[in-house]
Structure 1
Amino acid sequence: MRWLAVLLLIARPISAAEPADVIFSNGSVYTVNERQPHAEAVAVRGDRIAFVGSNADAQKFRDNHTRVIDLHGGTVVPGLTDSHCHIFGIGEREMTMNLEGANSFEAFLAKVQERVAKTERGQWITGRGWIETFWKPPQFPTRADLDKIAPANPVYLTRADGHASVVNSAALKIAGIARATPNPFGGEILKDDSGEPMGMLLDNAQDIVESKIPKPAEAEREKALSLGVQREIALGWCEIQNAGSELSDVQLLRRANEAGQVKLRIYNAAYGPGAAAQKLLEEGPTLNAYRNHFTQRTIKVVFDGALGSRGAALLAPYSDRPDTSGFLTQKEAELLPLFQEALRRGIQVETHAIGDRANRIILDLYERAFQTVPPNERKIREPRWRVEHAQILSGQDIPRFARLGVIVSMQPSHAISDLFFAPARLGIDRLAGAYAWNSFLKTGAVVCGGSDAPVERGEPMIEFYAAISRKSTKGESREGWHSEQAVTREQALRMFTVNAAYAAFEEIDKGAIEPGKLADFTVLSADIMKIPEPEILNTRCVMTVIGGETVFEDRQ
């Protein structure tokens, strides 16, 4: 009968008179709970919410041992979730040459030249974050450009999107890339009119050079994780959904959690096809480990490139380069068996798909998997598979997401960054199906929001602003930006809270501020549900609370 006693103990409701450990009072609380949308105070017992309501009623949960934290009118929202980012890349951005903000070709070269001056002859120089959008002219750098400033060091510099890199002649020589080198599947070595490599490598072609770069020491990877976690918490993220890990990353994440070094909640995906995905299929998911701080139940597939580097797979050629329509980076025939096994083993699948061709084909593959593995043969009847980015869609494919139960994982800042060059890549007509957040919502699809950091800055206020304004951070809007695709503030908040929780099978525990859920919330310096749009960009996180613990506080 011991099991019955345990079961009764778990099921026993906690008395309302039982005191709270912490009461957060005098806040403007947006709960994202339709039954109680607004409150003043939140009482926390252990790592869960015990009460949500008025300041006066919260006093019923107070005794001599209860801590009371006065929020001084601060705006409180459910703990924000970044539904798509790369935690190691965020940390590495802080450790290596960060080329963000190089808004001219000359500024880009100056940053690289500064690093060359500090680097021993023959040593690799690596960096990330350049983008040519605002350069004059807006064109990719070449190996000749880099050779002039770094003749004695191999150089490998990744574009902001992570789907293209520029290298110099020294790097090409080490990798054995010459005019006769063929393009690998799912990648391209850009060549000039004479057939010589120009130094630009797209998608899988990057691997030829990247495989020659010495791997970072484990201590460096640990530092990258730590820096990434610290940054996310300080920005107000309570959970991140890490969009892809190799086997070594998974092991590091587990060790760091075992040591209690990770305050951030992490919902991790294993890259597939490959060793990480295979291990996940064999061993099964890890759910709510380390006090609800680590879950791994997802395989991440990268199915095409990026729009800016013209690797996104399109149904028709690029408007500004008619000789290409981009490319797929995985073979369809190899994905279907993986998807079928995932359904049988209860593993979620999320797939990077940017171009309209990539999105159509991945929906076709998902649909075939669903048809060949019917619900009674699945470990989870409704698998909540996802498409990451879903940036360019043909109008006929937008309703398919809701119909198939496929979640749309989108990053609003991509629109306000990409729309400066998207008209050139796509032409005006195809922009009707670009970054179509509102169109997806109108069909009944679940749309969760993320940042794709370090591709973008990764700041929640930029993402929220982009979602509701559809304007650049300077307030610009141009032809083809389709302002009707902007969402309401309520919809935007749901994208980063309850919808993100649903996309991770976590809506019972997360996504709203209500009794019984985990005590995760973000406290902001201004009321983002009311202030003018431009002021959202100046709003900062003043407190991040995870499991009732204040893990970050801005003491300004």
Structure 2
Amino acid sequence: MKLILVVLFLFMMNACTQKEKADLVVINATVYTVDKAFSIVQSFAVSNGKVVAVGTNEEIQQRYTALDMIDAEGKFVYPGFNDAHCHFNGYGENLMESADLRGTQSPEEIYEILKKHHDKFGGEWLLGRSWDQNDWEVKEFPTKEGLDKIFPDIPVYLVRVDGHAAWCNSKALEIAGVTAKSKVLGGDVLTANGEPTGVLIDNAESLVTKFIPGISEEQQRKGLLEAQRNCFATGLTSVTDCGVSKNTILMMDEMQKAGELKMRINGMLNPSEENFEYFVKKGTYKTDKLNVGTIKMYADGALGSRGALLLDDYSDDPGNKGLQIAEQDYYDKICQLAFDNNYAVAIHAIGDGGNRLILDTYGRFLKGKNDRRWQIEHSQIINTNDFDKFEKYSIVPSIQATHCTSDMKWAVDRVGEERIKGAYSYQTLLKQLGWLPNGTDFPVENIEPLFTFYSSVFRIDHEGWPEGGWRIEEGLTREQTIRSMTTWAAKASFEENEKGSLTPGMWADFIILDTDLMTASPKEVLNTKVLSTWIAGEKVFEM
């Protein structure tokens, strides 16, 4: 009997001291879990790609053993960043075929970049992306003459930084048959002296783009992988790709299932009949890495190209109120389709006219509070009488904070002192639902999510202007900003119970930084390094 008791005692002691096996344990870190209390812990354990426990070093090490034990050496761990609004596939395609014109200071600088690009890559068309006349000494739209002089026989098509205007040469216009008489709903062909200037606004871009050869499937795959590589290096583990085709979604799904594409993607569908038939009418589509449940549309253009739809004339362009991209019936038809098939809707709206149009359109379908999470992308300029409609109809304002700091030097010129009071108003928008998603809109803006944090919190440019921050009362706190880039971004795609926080049961998507964003100065934020990026407990990037 005594022997039995001794054996039983030893068995129980062994059972009490035996550790559970985990795939990964991280210790000696400052871990921002981004749970409801914004708790900070030292350590966490991961099994089967998910967080299974968080706590002190002692608590986790006493309970778990793992072959992969990471000593963070006091560094700072956050949930992986989630870009709630970008153009992931488009960014990848640009990397494969377009000259990068971001930050150029004059048309002459662009000409030199284009000559070097064409000498290196050749091609049937010469393409480029991200010029911005607001960065030039003469802040006016360019014309085709300079391009014609250098490239008389090669069609040139250059997309403005916001994607809502294009600059072409005469050869491109000739191929497309564009003349001063060309008209298109929701777009504008700029003219001078009875001839097209070479600049096309919003829907007028389609007059030329339909003649540009599409990217090959091989190049598109390479572009997606290159985009993923760059995203991982910035700490992104999830993206919302705004406006994709059926073939692109299927390619992403295939590449994810093959283990090539590890990025988690919320794919918002272009409003095409092909997408409606293949996806929408069959219901939402969801895997661990891919989420398809939203239709993306446009209400208006962009503020920089004066295509954003305003209720009254532009302050610096009397007689121009911007552009409404489509008729009311178009929005009503697609909203009804989405509503009937339990899809969300996300519509780009920049101007106060565009935002009112979509707020009222959504209101007719949603009627009151709900959990459909229909979004307004950008929610940039809101008439002060319209803010409460977000709360009334549970409409989600999706923001991109770097737009604020990119636009702040000239936005007042566009809309005036009174209307600017309802612009880039992130605290006011946050109060409507108590949460809001945040993104970059890359490649419109830089891919870097740390710039999103910087702009959200400090509201200054990278040189520190203006001192104290532009309309800083509408800036977000550090905690609010981290939530907007993690848990709230996940909530926008109905994935807040899967990712966005480092708590038990959530995907172990996380990043290790060399700097504490919760205490860092503006300069320190800009100099922060992403040391490593992890998805489902797998390291996908290391500095």
TM range, smaller chain: over 0.9
Residue 210 in structure 1 maps to residue 209 in structure 2: yes
Q: How does 1:527-542 map to 2 (within 5 A)?
A: 527-542=516-531
Equivalent residue for 1:269? 268
The one-letter code of the counterpart of 1:187 is G
Equivalent residue for 2:304? 308
Mapped to 1, the partners of 2:313 and 2:272 lie a distance apart of 28
Tell whether the 8 Å contact from 2:76 to 2:515 is kept in structure 1 after alignment: yes
The one-letter code of the counterpart of 2:264 is R
Pairwise CA distance, 1:494: 0.7
Pairwise CA distance, 1:514: 0.9
Mapped to 2, the partners of 1:351 and 1:494 lie a distance apart of 22
Count of residue pairs brought into register by the alignment: 526
The one-letter code of the counterpart of 1:346 is N
Pairwise CA distance, 1:17: 5.1
Mapped to 2, the partners of 1:321 and 1:195 lie a distance apart of 20
Residues 324 and 445 (structure 1), Cα distance of their counterparts in 2 relative to 1, 3 Å cut: farther
Q: In structure 1, list runs of 5 or more residues that go unmatched.
A: 1-14, 376-380
Pairwise CA distance, 1:445: 4.4
Tell whether the 8 Å contact from 2:85 to 2:240 is kept in structure 1 after alignment: yes
Pairwise CA distance, 1:479: 11
Indicate the larger mover: 253-262 or 539-548: 253-262
Q: How does 1:23-42 map to 2 (within 5 A)?
A: 23-35=25-37, 37-42=39-44
Pairwise CA distance, 1:195: 2.3
Report sequence identity in percent.
Answer: 37
Structure 2 length-normalised TM: 0.93
Mapped to 2, the partners of 1:478 and 1:69 lie a distance apart of 40
Equivalent residue for 2:357? 361
Q: How does 1:497-512 map to 2 (within 5 A)?
A: 497-512=486-501
Pairwise CA distance, 1:130: 0.8
- Cα deviation, 1:154-184, whole Å, max 9, x if unaligned, reads 1000011111000001111111111222x20
The one-letter code of the counterpart of 1:239 is S
Pairwise CA distance, 1:106: 2.3
Mapped to 1, the partners of 2:47 and 2:424 lie a distance apart of 41
Equivalent residue for 1:230? 229
Mapped to 2, the partners of 1:315 and 1:445 lie a distance apart of 27
Equivalent residue for 1:410? 399
Aligned-residue CA RMSD in angstroms?
A: 1.9
Equivalent residue for 1:3? none
Tell whether the 8 Å contact from 1:85 to 1:242 is kept in structure 2 after alignment: yes
Mapped to 1, the partners of 2:120 and 2:535 lie a distance apart of 41
Q: How does 1:193-342 map to 2 (within 5 A)?
A: 194-287=193-286, 289=287, 292-342=288-338
Pairwise CA distance, 1:458: 1.5
Tell whether the 8 Å contact from 1:43 to 1:61 is kept in structure 2 after alignment: no
Tell whether the 8 Å contact from 2:313 to 2:320 is kept in structure 1 after alignment: yes
Residues 358 and 527 (structure 1), Cα distance of their counterparts in 2 relative to 1, 3 Å cut: same
Pairwise CA distance, 1:305: 0.6
Q: In structure 2, list runs of 5 or more residues that go unmatched.
A: 1-16
Residues 36 and 409 (structure 1), Cα distance of their counterparts in 2 relative to 1, 3 Å cut: closer
Equivalent residue for 2:154? 153
Equivalent residue for 1:84? 85
Structure 1 length-normalised TM: 0.91
The one-letter code of the counterpart of 2:47 is R
Pairwise CA distance, 1:394: 0.5
Residues 479 and 430 (structure 1), Cα distance of their counterparts in 2 relative to 1, 3 Å cut: farther
Secondary structure at the counterpart of residue 111 of structure 2: helix
Equivalent residue for 1:5? none
Pairwise CA distance, 1:421: 1.9
Equivalent residue for 1:110? 112
Tell whether the 8 Å contact from 1:355 to 1:393 is kept in structure 2 after alignment: yes
Equivalent residue for 1:52? 54
Mapped to 1, the partners of 2:203 and 2:100 lie a distance apart of 22
Tell whether the 8 Å contact from 2:454 to 2:526 is kept in structure 1 after alignment: yes
Mapped to 2, the partners of 1:460 and 1:347 lie a distance apart of 28
- Cα deviation, 1:472-498, whole Å, max 9, x if unaligned, reads 111112899312111110110110011
Tell whether the 8 Å contact from 2:396 to 2:433 is kept in structure 1 after alignment: no
Tell whether the 8 Å contact from 2:131 to 2:159 is kept in structure 1 after alignment: yes
Equivalent residue for 1:419? 408
Mapped to 1, the partners of 2:424 and 2:225 lie a distance apart of 32
Secondary structure at the counterpart of residue 317 of structure 1: coil
Equivalent residue for 1:346? 342
Q: How does 1:378-457 map to 2 (within 5 A)?
A: 382-457=371-446
The one-letter code of the counterpart of 1:26 is N
The one-letter code of the counterpart of 2:91 is I
Secondary structure at the counterpart of residue 447 of structure 1: coil
Pairwise CA distance, 1:62: 2.9
- Cα deviation, 1:424-468, whole Å, max 9, x if unaligned, reads 211222111111101112333421110000000120110000000
Pairwise CA distance, 1:48: 0.8
Mapped to 1, the partners of 2:334 and 2:135 lie a distance apart of 41
Mapped to 2, the partners of 1:16 and 1:474 lie a distance apart of 55
- Cα deviation, 1:381-408, whole Å, max 9, x if unaligned, reads 6211111001111011112112211111
Mapped to 2, the partners of 1:241 and 1:187 lie a distance apart of 26
Mapped to 2, the partners of 1:152 and 1:166 lie a distance apart of 16
